[in-house]
């Protein structure tokens, strides 16, 4: 894995380790992960089932703490109070709020930071249009297809203009054609906004479309 060398990395992880106890047995999932990503760079992470991909993504997002190692976002220590503005996340299961429409789901990300005003509402409408759902913005999640729901999730993840987007198996619940479209959307929007992307996927074809494909094996990235 080539190190990042151009200025301050958007994300820099060094020596990340994580283990869990199973009865009286200690299972080492991550054994010293190093990763640095620059602005606008796209990285994919593949690995066998149970290799620790989602565990790693949770550490990179600051949702869990490593047993050892360091994590910084844009040169500063990763902190929970920066998460809502620094990074966006897209998951396999969408996690949309079922009682509110697509536009309101996108706007919900802004509410995590402050009460949204006219500028935030305008940005949410723009993002809904950018993901091709302008005419579906008033539909509830249950009225949308799986691919449409994932597009809403992508728009929501970009609502706060994050420097980093983390995507955990974003096509896992989609058919191949729809999955292709979602991957294309992620890559094009991140490139357009200079947002760094970490894509966790089991799909070798999707993994190969990023600038730097990586593989998680025996607790380390290569």
Looking at residue 6, its pLDDT comes to: 58
Q: How confident is the model at residue 24 (pLDDT cuts 50, 70, 90)?
A: confident
Strand partners, 94: none
Q: What is the pTM of this model?
A: 0.93
Asked whether residue 195 carries a pLDDT value surpassing 70, the answer given is yes
3-state secondary structure of 92: coil
- For the segment 73-110, what is each residue's pLDDT rounded down to a tens digit? 999 999 999 999 999 999 999 999 999 999 999 999 99
Q: What percentage of the chain reaches a pLDDT higher than 70?
A: 97
C-alpha torsion 213→178→52→164, nearest 10: 60
- Do 86 and 163 contact (CB within 8 A), yes or no? yes
Comparison of pLDDT for 4 and 189, the residue scoring more = 189
d(Cα 29, Cα 42) in Å, to the nearest integer? 24
Asked whether residue 3 carries a pLDDT value surpassing 80, the answer given is no
- Do 137 and 128 contact (CB within 8 A), yes or no? yes
Q: Give all domains of the chain, ordered by start, each with its CATH number.
A: 11-221 (3.40.50.300)
| Residues 159-167, mean pLDDT to the nearest whole number | 96
Looking at residue 4, its pLDDT comes to: 52
- For the segment 168-177, what is each residue's pLDDT rounded down to a tens digit? 999 999 999 9
- Do 200 and 58 contact (CB within 8 A), yes or no? no
């Amino acid at each position: 894995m080539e190190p990042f060398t151009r200025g301050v990395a958007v994300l820099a992880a060094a020596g990340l380790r994580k283990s869990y106890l199973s009865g009286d047995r200690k299972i080492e999932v991550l054994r010293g992960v190093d990763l640095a990503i620059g602005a606008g760079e796209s990285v994919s992470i593949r690995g066998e089932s149970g290799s620790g991909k989602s565990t790693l993504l949770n550490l990179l997002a600051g949702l869990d703490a490593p047993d050892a190692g360091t994590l910084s976002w844009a040169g500063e220590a990763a902190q929970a109070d920066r998460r809502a503005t620094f990074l966006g996340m897209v998951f396999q299961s969408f996690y949309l709020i079922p009682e509110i429409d697509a536009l309101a789901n996108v706007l919900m990300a802004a509410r995590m930071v402050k009460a949204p005003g006219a500028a935030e509402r305008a940005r949410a409408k723009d993002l809904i249009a950018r993901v091709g759902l302008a005419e579906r913005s008033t539909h509830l999640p249950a009225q949308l297809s799986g691919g449409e729901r994932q597009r809403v999730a992508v728009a929501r993840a970009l609502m706060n203009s994050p420097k980093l987007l983390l995507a955990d198996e974003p096509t896992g619940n989609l058919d191949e054609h729809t999955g292709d479209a979602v991957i294309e959307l992620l890559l094009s929007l991140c490139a357009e906004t200079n947002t760094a992307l970490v894509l966790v996927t089991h799909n070798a074809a999707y993994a190969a479309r990023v600038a730097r494909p990586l593989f998680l094996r025996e607790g380390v990235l290569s």
